[in-house]
Amino acid sequence: MQPPQEPEKWEGVREAVKDGVICPQRNIFIKSLFFLAGEEDCLYLNVYTPKVNATSDLLPVMVFYHGGAWVTGSGNSKYYPPEYLLDKDVVLVSIEYRLGPLGFLSMEDEELPGNLGLKDQVQSLKWIQKNIKSFGGNPDLVTIFGESAGGASVHYHMLSPMSRGLFHRAISQSGTGMCSWALGAPGVTRNNTIKLAKVLGCPSSPTRDMIACLRKKPFGEIITTDVEFMVWNKGPMIPFKPVVEKSRDGFIPQHPEDATRAGKLAKVPWMTGVNSGEGAMGAAAFYDDEKLVKEFDEKFNELVPIIFFLHREKGLDVQEAARQIRRFYFGGKPVDNSTVNRVVDLYTDAWFLAGADEAVRLSYEYAKAPVYYYYFSYRGSASFSSIFGDVKQDMGTCHADELIYLFPMERLFPDVKFSEKDEEYIKIFVDLWTNFARTG
Q: Known catalytic residues?
A: 148, 278, 399
- Would you list the DSSP string of 96-152? ----HHHHH---SSSSS---HHHHHHHHHHHHHHHHGGGGTEEEEEEEEEEETHHHH
Report the chain's terminal Cα–Cα distance, integer Å.
36
- Does residue 307 sit in helix, strand or coil? helix
**Continuous segment of H or E residues that includes residue 210:** helix 207-215
Residue 87: how many CA atoms within 13 Å on its side-chain side? Answer: 12
Q: Report the alpha-carbon distance of residue 299 to residue 406 in Å, rounded.
A: 39
Other residues' Cβ atoms within 10 Å of the Cβ of residue 2: 9
DSSP 45: E
Which of these, 110, 405, 358, 69, lies nearest to 229 by C-alpha position?
69
Cα 211 to Cα 113, 192, 193, 228: the distances in Å are: 12, 14, 11, 19
* Residue 9 CB burial class (10 angstroms; 0-12, 13-18, ≥19): exposed
Q: Report the alpha-carbon distance of residue 397 to residue 415 in Å, rounded.
A: 19
Residue 195: how many CA atoms within 13 Å on its side-chain side? Answer: 15
Q: Are 154 and 172 in contact (CB under 8 A)?
A: yes
Other residues' Cβ atoms within 10 Å of the Cβ of residue 76: 20
For residue 236, cis peptide bond before it (omega within 30 degrees of 0)? yes
Q: Are 211 and 102 in contact (CB under 8 A)?
A: no
